[in-house]
């Protein structure tokens, strides 16, 4: 169970990515039922002023010895060029060897590569740096255009907001969907974007014109029990099925079937946690129709059955 998190800071650290990790794991949300973690930002020279990539400086009070206590060690974006400080590389390698989980955000993946943690492993980084990551670490299996990759002990994420997606993914794995959703609500971000979702799409943020799919997606979330075939959704959106399917991928980065399935699984998670209703009832409530269909999709997405998930995360 995740209880202790250490985030590494260094000269040239990107303040946004550092802030994402602090927001995700460092805030006390115990008043909303979120477990409070032991959290620290750590640096090689505690107390010394360090320049960030944005021209201002920060000061960190914990040294690298604090990292030895952590269940999760997180690396924000490293300076331009992907050169990680030697001390960071060494402490990441040591943490991995003792069994800690390792998370990188954006170009922080280069520190993991320098530590040898990406050899033979699927991984990702910001789409601008994926080619360079592959060139620098040819044994890595770089997966471009995804939000994050979780291979178990190592989680790598793309730039900026994708780092928060990866953090919420870890929270969800450790404490369940309700906790992850509360953190997302406090941060005013979507509670779940799947790791395989596209990093960048034709429209990175859907516009607010009358023909945007945002109202339709909101309606789907409020009516998961309805039939949501491409044909029925296209009719509601006043488009041909072909145009709708193209627009849907442009605005969400995935297919209607995949998106709806993920939303149904996410809704099922919360019902399994919050209610004692039978799995058959949960399946009907979220639109899967029967327990067998729910079980099929739930295992594919979460890797465990609904019953096992409920035993792990029931309130």
What's the CATH code of the domain at 73?
3.40.50.880
Residue 200 lies in a domain: no
Quote the number of domains for the chain. Answer: 2
Please tell me which residue, 92 or 187, carries the higher pLDDT value: 92
Residue 199 falls within a domain, yes or no? no
What pLDDT does residue 252 have? 82
CA distance to 1, 71, 154, 214, 315, per residue, from 308 (Å): 16, 24, 24, 34, 14
Cβ–Cβ < 8 Å for 229, 259: no
Is the same domain home to 243 and 287?
Answer: yes
Quick check: is 196 in a domain?
no
Domain span at 85:
4-187
For 41-71, write each residue's pLDDT tens digit: 999 999 999 999 999 999 999 999 999 999 9
Last residue of a domain, one of 187, 220, 240: 187
Q: Based on the fold, state whether residues 237 and 89 are members of the same structural domain.
A: no
Q: For residue 132, give the H/E element and its range.
A: helix 130-136
Q: What is the distance between the terminal CA atoms of the chain, rounded to a whole angstrom? A: 16
d(CA 27, CA 237): 40
The answer to whether residues 216 and 264 belong to one domain is yes
Residue bearing tokens 């973690």: 37
| Domain contains 293 | yes
Digit-coded pLDDT (tens) for 262-313: 999 999 998 998 899 999 999 999 999 999 999 999 998 888 899 998 988 8
DSSP bridge pairs for 63: 43
């Amino acid at each position: 169970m995740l209880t202790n998190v250490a985030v590494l800071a260094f000269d040239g650290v990107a303040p946004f990515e550092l802030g994402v990790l602090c927001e995700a794991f460092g805030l006390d949300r115990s008043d909303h039922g979120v477990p409070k973690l032991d959290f620290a930002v750590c640096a090689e020279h505690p107390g010394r002023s360090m320049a960030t990539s944005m021209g201002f400086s920060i000061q960190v009070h914990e040294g690298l010895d604090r990292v030895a206590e952590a269940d999760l060690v997180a690396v924000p974006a490293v300076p331009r060029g992907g050169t990680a400080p030697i001390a960071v590389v060494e402490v990441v390698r040591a943490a991995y060897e003792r069994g800690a989980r390792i998370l990188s955000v954006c170009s922080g993946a280069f520190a993991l590569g320098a530590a040898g943690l990406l050899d033979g492993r699927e991984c990702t980084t910001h789409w601008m740096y994926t080619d360079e990551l592959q060139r620098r670490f040819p044994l890595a299996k770089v997966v471009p255009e995804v939000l994050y990759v979780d291979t178990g002990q190592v989680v790598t994420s793309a730039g900026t907001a994708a780092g928060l997606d990866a953090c919420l993914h870890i929270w969800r794995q450790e404490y369940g969907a309700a906790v992850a959703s509360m953190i997302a609500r406090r941060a005013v971000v979507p509670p779940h974007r799947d790791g395989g979702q596209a990093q960048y799409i034709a429209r990175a943020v859907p516009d607010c014109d009358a023909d945007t799919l945002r109202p339709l997606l909101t309606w789907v979330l409020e009516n998961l029990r309805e039939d949501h075939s491409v044909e029925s959704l296209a009719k509601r959106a006043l488009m041909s099925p072909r145009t709708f399917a193209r627009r849907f991928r442009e605005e969400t980065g995935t297919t209607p079937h995949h998106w709806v399935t993920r939303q149904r699984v996410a809704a099922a998670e919360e019902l399994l946690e919050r209610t004692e209703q039978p799995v058959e009832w949960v399946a009907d409530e979220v639109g899967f129709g029967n327990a067998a269909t729910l079980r099929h999709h739930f295992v594919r997405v979460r890797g465990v059955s609904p019953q096992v998930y409920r035993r792990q995360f029931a309130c």
